[in-house]
Amino acid sequence: MTTSAERPSVLFVCVHNAGRSQMAAAFLTHLAGERVQVRSAGSAPADTVNPAVVEALAEVGIDISAEVPKVLTVEAVQASDVVITMGCGDTCPFFPGKRYLDWELPDPAGQGVGAVRPIRDEIEKRIRGLIDEIMGD
């Protein structure tokens, strides 16, 4: 069994932590399991996760109905090897030595599940690529 120090850690950040970052964290947890430490946060978290996002993930067998948006902290960034931002711009803290990726994805806020599905599918594709990259499988 590996310790948490040996597992790569990834932080997903968007403004509200109610859509894109929640989907990305859920896919990485679902696909990589215990091999990766996963966090998500928002620079200005919403009160709840977007219901269309919850529904879109449920369609592919991932339940995030119990998730709640979390506030972005300096500690979360410092504890992560890879920080993936999704439209939070300059509000994301920057620390030298961290690997940053910016994924430009449409914001699912205010969208129905039909509009969320293609965003979900694109996030899944990117997560699969990320797993190959950070796990070296």
Q: Exactly one of 14, 26, 57, 134 is catalytic; which is it?
A: 14
Verify whether residue 88 is a known catalytic residue: yes
Count of beta carbons in the 10 Å neighbourhood of residue 83:
25
Q: Exactly one of 41, 88, 105, 116 is catalytic; which is it?
A: 88
Please answer whether residues 28 and 127 qualify as being in contact, where contact means their C-beta atoms are separated by less than 8 angstroms.
yes
Tell me if residue 28 falls in helix, strand or coil: helix
What is the C-alpha separation between 82 and 122, in angstroms, rounded? 19
Using CB atoms within 10 Å of the CB of residue 14, give its burial: 0 to 12 exposed, 13 to 18 middle, 19+ buried: buried
Residue 8: alpha-carbon gap to chain centroid: 14
Q: Exactly one of 23, 53, 64, 92 is catalytic; which is it?
A: 92
Catalytic residues: 14, 88, 92
